[in-house]
Structure 1
Amino acid sequence: MWREIEPDQVQRVEVEGGSVVTYSFGEGDETILLLNGGPGLPCDYLRDSHSCLVDHGYRVVAFDQLGTGRSDRPTDPALWTITRYVGEVEAVRQALDLGPVHLVGQSWGGWLSVEYALTHPRALRTLVLENTAADIPHLVAELGRLREALGSETVAMMQRHEAEGTLDHPEYQAAITVLNYRHVCRLAEWPAPVRRSLGDWNMGPYETIQGPNEFTYTGNLKDWNRIPDMHRITVPTLITVGQHDELTPACAMRMKLALPDAELRVFPNSSHMPFFEEPAAFFPVLVDFLARRGGRSRAADLAGAA
């Protein structure tokens, strides 16, 4: 079960555009590398929810992506591309000498994980895609369906504010709040690591890559779709999704059908954060997958990735 743990090691790594701060837990022979969502969020919520995997003998590594948390915060929007972030992940893996990793990507971190897996296939032992998607135009259609559940008048109001650029209006923000509590985290009180990450959100990367909020995509990845390429990701893959997730079970199913070796688990009482919303159900699934599909024999096969 998740709990907040102090890292055993904190280290800076130079990447394109500055340096990032990494957090390492445990000393296991196998490493789980975490890529958190956002973009623009510090890694607190994913780091603190998954560092408990040290209890199962893994080393767990997380880092504040460039522009977030304790990492450097440049303001050049040209840095906010998924290609640069792929290079950032590889710089961290190489600098910390991690070898082949169990790569866990959640939300935006899942998009980044898919792109990384296609670019550096030999760097992976397994892939875990949590609450994510690989086809943004399809996701936008799904988000439209979720918005429609608010009612036609509310949707019309949201569309008007989006057209006029008045997204800070209280009635628009009220609708976004309802959607967040339905489809981002369904807990009455959001956990402290989530609140810390959200309280230090850098909107520069977020707006450049995604858009103004979780339900409006206008950024440079609005047309991103890697479904046609995912057959090239051959490592064992676990896909997890909440029944009420903003990145819906339909998005998860598209990825499963595109991957040659994938398992999919849907958590019925969760939205975008099953590791907080249903930890007693979530963690046994994750630990079982890693134990069954990420054995040391695969590490030997991929030793050349180090």
Structure 2
Amino acid sequence: MDKWRQQLINTERGVFEVFTKGEGPAMCVAHHYSVFNATGDYFAETFTPFCTVYLVNLREAGQSAKAEQPYQLSMLETVFDLEAVRKALGYQQWIFAGHSTGGMLGVIYGIAASASLTGLMLVGAAARDYAAFSTDCIYNEDHPEFQKMQDLLEALKQEGLEPEQRKELGIQRTQLSLHQPDGYEQYFHSRHAKTISAIRLDFFSRELQVFDVTRKLHLITVPVWIACGEHDVQCPLLYSIEMKKGIPNSQLAVFSKSNHYPFLEEKPKFVSDAQSFLAEVSQQNKAQMDV
């Protein structure tokens, strides 16, 4: 497996660690509290055959800048950081693709800076607190697997865990979000090895309590591809349906045999649908340039 190329990007908002791979239109991928390295990421890897993917470590992740103030860990400030990375790389616009909390960042990105985007890809995401209002969500206290997930998250935040311990805890956590848990080895067969930024996760857990941008979805003015597994226990399907209704130029792809990882659980269909969307975006951009 080819490694991702590491870059330390100097921006007006500090230094950010970025990993690059692929060829084609520029695409930014980020997750709100993951820490990436040169082994890459399953979601980001999906797009490298047809996009130049920039996998960004956010503030307090990897070798990226630290937060001097707590507010710098918020979703809006994170979008400003991504904008600084885009400018430093020399792009007027790029595509943003995000999975889970990365998709939530994408929603904020579209609301705050649609002019900087050619398209948005939101996978297994939501535009408001996904835990409080749906018992289908594994982070809702009434979900049968709630406590198991909480225990695993707390265990993963511990420092000093042996690699094998961390690996086993991560597998158990991921299996809770698969439509067919026994398929774990089939889906996660590469050596992508990311970790969690505890400080970013803790801040996000607080911010989530007041997160609701559903009334601003109409401000997203770029083409948007929303994808969700029908059985998603992290960001249940109803939140993707809600985004589809609120975002003017959007389309929704539902993956009937997937939970939270349709890009792995139904990879051929996911890749085909994603490529079709990106082709539409390219055609629209070309048409606009020809006017």
TM-score category by the smaller chain?
0.7 to 0.9
Structure 1 counterpart of 2:36, one-letter code: P
| CA drift at 1:102 | 1.6
Instruction: Name which of 115, 120, 126 aligns with 1:133.
Output: 126
Do 2:36 and 2:57's aligned partners in 1 also have CA atoms closer than 8 Å? yes
Structure 1 counterpart of 2:118, one-letter code: R
Cα 1:11–1:179, aligned 2, differ >3 Å: closer, same or farther? Answer: closer
**Structure 2 CA distance for aligned equivalents of residues 113 and 139 of structure 1:** 19
Q: Tell me, which stretches of 5 or more residues in structure 1 are unaligned?
A: 169-175, 211-218
Structure 1 counterpart of 2:286, one-letter code: S
Please state whether the residue corresponding to 1:68 is helix, strand or coil. Answer: coil
| CA drift at 1:34 | 1.2
Matched with 1:13 is: 10
Please state whether the residue corresponding to 1:281 is helix, strand or coil. Answer: helix
Do 1:44 and 1:194's aligned partners in 2 also have CA atoms closer than 8 Å? no
| CA drift at 1:107 | 1.2
Q: Any idea what the Cα deviations from partners look like across 1:140-182, whole Å, max 9, x if unmatched? A: 22256555452xxx77xx49x99xxxx66xxxxxxx9877523
Cα 1:104–1:46, aligned 2, differ >3 Å: closer, same or farther? Answer: farther
Q: If the length of structure 1 is used for normalisation, what is the TM-score?
A: 0.75
Q: Tell me, which stretches of 5 or more residues in structure 2 are unaligned?
A: 156-169
Matched with 1:256 is: 244
Do 1:40 and 1:203's aligned partners in 2 also have CA atoms closer than 8 Å? no
Instruction: Name which of 260, 278, 281 aligns with 1:293.
Output: 281
Percentage of pairs with the same residue: 21
> Aligned runs of 1:1-306 on 2, under 5 Å?
4-7=1-4, 10-14=7-11, 16=13, 18-28=14-24, 30-35=25-30, 37-42=31-36, 47-51=41-45, 53-56=47-50, 58-74=51-67, 77-136=70-129, 138-143=130-135, 146=138, 148=142, 150=144, 158=147, 180-183=174-177, 186=181, 187-189=183-185, 191=188, 196-197=193-194, 200-210=195-205, 219-245=206-232, 246-295=234-283, 296-297=285-286, 300=289
**Structure 1 CA distance for aligned equivalents of residues 288 and 98 of structure 2:** 20
Do 1:67 and 1:202's aligned partners in 2 also have CA atoms closer than 8 Å? yes
The CA RMSD over aligned residues, in Å, is 3.4
Q: If the length of structure 2 is used for normalisation, what is the TM-score?
A: 0.78
**Structure 1 CA distance for aligned equivalents of residues 196 and 236 of structure 2:** 23
Structure 2 counterpart of 1:202, one-letter code: S
Structure 2 counterpart of 1:237, one-letter code: V
| CA drift at 1:203 | 0.8
**Structure 1 CA distance for aligned equivalents of residues 3 and 191 of structure 2:** 17
Please state whether the residue corresponding to 2:16 is helix, strand or coil. Answer: strand
| CA drift at 1:80 | 1.3
**Structure 1 CA distance for aligned equivalents of residues 216 and 203 of structure 2:** 24
Instruction: Give the count of matched residue pairs.
Output: 269
**Structure 2 CA distance for aligned equivalents of residues 59 and 19 of structure 1:** 20
